[in-house]
Amino acid sequence: MPIVSCVVTAEPDKGFQVEKALMEIPGVEVYGGELKEEENAYYIIVVLDGERYEDLERMEHQIREIDGVLQLAVVEAHFLDEFEKIEKGEIIPQNPFHGLKKAEKIAEKMWLGEDEDEKGKEN
């Protein structure tokens, strides 16, 4: 389960409304906000908690769409549980490198000299 702690920076006059909107997003836990007048910004501490990385991307998109949000900064991220589930085959990640496994197998055969047939020609 990937967990990411973030700071959401909002326009000072919209900070409280942004905080309320964040509470409506499934998987987003709001730990409080504070107005920093000297910086002219409202900072909100949140934790994004999802089953998969794609859930975090969805939450990030929803947060950035909230009126008054200026920035979303990641403070710390934890993905170990998701990696363990992938290793166990419990979840299968969407792979942007679709041909990578095949390329790895070809490279391994080439490295071991198994890429040549019995006549000494490459496959």
Q: Over the stretch 2-57, which tens digit does the pLDDT of each residue have?
A: 788 999 999 999 999 999 999 999 999 999 999 998 999 999 999 999 887 888 89
CATH 3.30.70.260, domain 3-92, yes or no: yes
The domain segmentation of the chain, as residue ranges, is 3-92, 95-123
| Torsion angles phi and psi, residue 77, rounded to 5 | -130, 145
How high is the pLDDT of residue 101? 66
pTM as predicted: 0.65
